[in-house]
Amino acid sequence: MPIEFMEIDGKYLEGGGQILRNALSFSCILRTPVRIVNIRANRPNPGLSNQHLFGLNLLVQITDAQVNGNYIKSTEVEFNPNKIKAGKYFVNTQTAASISLVLQCALPVLSFAGAQSELELIGGTNVGMAPQVDFMTEVLRPNLEQFGVSFDFDLMTRGYYPRGGGRCKVHIPPVRCLNPISLTDFGNIQEVTGWCFVAGRLPADLAKSMKISAEQELSVLRGSHQCQLEAYKESPEVARDNGSGVVLKATTNTNCTIGSSSLGEKKVDAQELGAKAGRDLAQLLSHQICVDSYVQDQLILYMALAKGQSKILTTPLTNHTRTAIYVAEKMCGARFTEQKLNENQVLLTCIGIGYVSEK
């Protein structure tokens, strides 16, 4: 019998790599064969790039999938997974391809593997257009924990653009099903924490200046919360190349974790790096939203699979989120409703399908 593939249009709205990752993750979990066409059609370099190909091939391994089109620049992939296998997996991207984005597509799949898995990843830990690994562990993870999903993350080395070489081990415990979440009450800010780092030949003073400018922007926040930012230089054993950045997070007494970040380019304007992350976080907090705009799109798949109604109070929806909703609704039949409360706040509700893993 010919295989019936569900077709996902990779040029829908955002038209980037995330459609591919989400479609593949759903495909593995639901055992739905999927054909993704027009991959990354809205990007200047369409088709699979390194990070996408390594993510795809990892999922091929995890599910013994039959696959067509898994090569660089491919704009169409057919993917037919078998059962998810828990185990030890290793991916060396040999570039600065984002470790976080490889993890983004593998985490939900391995969470439903029925037993603990270990994933060793080599690539970029703090690179542009992707969550820094610190954002994954400090900001995204506490949000995912509300669904019952978690992971342990051991960072051995950091990898920056262009050489990469960052290395981590991720341990992923199994879950059978996901709790629905309700993140709609901002409450009061409890604590603001953050990390301002430099590495390689960059002087430690730059990190201090990032910290000062971030603190200045955060000082507009009212309340009795603690603000504790660290400024440091990575040791040469951990980071061999030049790199710099800031990751900030705020927690509230109602279990919200909201983050912001910035990443240094070749020429580092330390003051602006700190100020940008500080300004972004201060603005999110002044709008009293519970889920920031980068966590927003990364929760869609989990909301769709959770049992029953999930609700998040968040920023106006990003194109990444609308795209993730398109994939989720098409692939698993979950239903999302968006209610605009005002210019800065949207209430996003989802009736999840209550997926339960086979094992």
Residues lying near ligand ATP in the complex (CB under 6 A) are found at 16-18, 40, 43, 101, 129-131, 135, 261, 294, 297-298, 320
- Which amino acid appears at position 348 of this protein? L
295 is in an annotated binding site: yes
Buried b (16+ CB within 10 A) or exposed e, 62-73: bbebebebbeee
- Residue 24 Cβ vs ligand ATP, minimum distance, rounded to whole Å: 12
Structure tokens at 168: 């981590």
86 vs 278, beta carbon nearer ligand ATP: 278
Closer by beta carbon to ligand ATP, 86 or else 284: 284
| 320 noted as active-site residue | yes
Residue 190 annotated as lining a ligand binding site: no
Q: How far is the CB of 135 from ligand ATP (least distance, A)?
A: 5
Q: What are 340's two structure tokens?
A: 């605009």
Question: How many other CB atoms are there within 10 angstroms of residue 24's CB atom?
Answer: 29
| Shortest distance, position 116 Cβ to ligand ATP, whole Å | 25
**Other C-beta atoms lying within 10 Å of the C-beta of residue 317:** 20
Contact yes or no for 312/181 (Cβ under 8 A)? yes
Looking at beta carbons only, is 21 or 211 nearer to ligand ATP? Answer: 21
296 has binding-site annotation: yes
Query: Is 104 assigned to a binding site?
Result: yes
DSSP string, 147-164: TT---EEEEEE--BTTTB
Query: Does the annotation list 297 as a binding residue?
Result: yes
Residues 6+ apart with CB under 8 A from 97: 49, 50, 51, 54, 123, 124, 127, 164
To ligand ATP, the closest distance from the beta carbon of 356 in angstroms equals: 26
CA distance 256 to 281: 13
Residue with the closest Cβ to ligand ATP?
17
For ligand ATP, the closer of residues 143 and 184 by Cβ is 143
CB nearer ligand ATP, residue 79 or residue 135: 135
326 is in an annotated binding site: no
**Least distance in Å: CB of 194 to ligand ATP?**
14
- Residues contacting residue 205 through CB under 8 Å, at least 6 positions apart: none
Catalytic residue among 52, 225, 287, 320: 320
| Spatial distance between the Cα atoms of 201 and 183, rounded to a whole number of angstroms | 42
Question: What residues are annotated to the active site?
Answer: 320
Instruction: Provide the annotated binding site for ATP.
Output: 104, 294-298
Q: Enumerate the known binding-site residues.
A: 104, 294-298
